[in-house]
Amino acid sequence: MLALKTEYHPFRLKLKDHRPVQLYVEVSNNHQKAKMVSLEVMLEDQLSFEKGGFRNKIIKRWKEFAPGKTFRFYFDIHPKVSTRIGEREVQIRMTEHDLAWDVVTREYLKNIPLSVID
């Protein structure tokens, strides 16, 4: 089984600060054998992984994710000019593949709300 842990730092996005929020993502392989795994992090249209606002999706792939191995990532989430106050969704999709990237054996989906305040 794959494990996914996430958290924000700070835990909400303040528009007036003009600073990004960091999303911490930890992926672990708790299986007894290596897995072929992909991880997608997708943002709503009002958020971006870049200051310029053009990138709202990141994909990471592991051809052989060894058993007991853990990967940790930090992603900066920036507001766009069009960002409004309220709850925004960050979606993480983790997929186990078999032999090829287009063959899916199991998929995990996690939606993480992000509070945007003034």
Q: What is the DSSP string of 42-96?
A: EE-TTEESSTTS---EEEEEEEEE-TT-EEEEEEEEEE-TT--SEEEEEEEEEEE
Q: pLDDT (tens digit, 0 to 9) for every residue of the chain, 118 residues total?
A: 899 999 999 999 999 998 999 999 999 999 999 999 999 999 999 999 999 889 999 999 999 999 999 999 999 999 999 999 999 999 999 999 998 999 999 999 999 999 999 9
What is the domain partition of the chain in residue ranges?
A: 2-117
Look up residue 99 and give its DSSP letter: S
Q: Let me know if domain 2-117 sits in CATH 2.60.40.10.
A: yes
Q: What are phi and psi of 80, to 5 degrees?
A: -95, 175
Q: In angstroms, rounded to a whole number, what is the distance separating the alpha carbons of residues 79 and 116?
A: 9
Angle (CA) 83-90-28 rounded to 5° is: 150
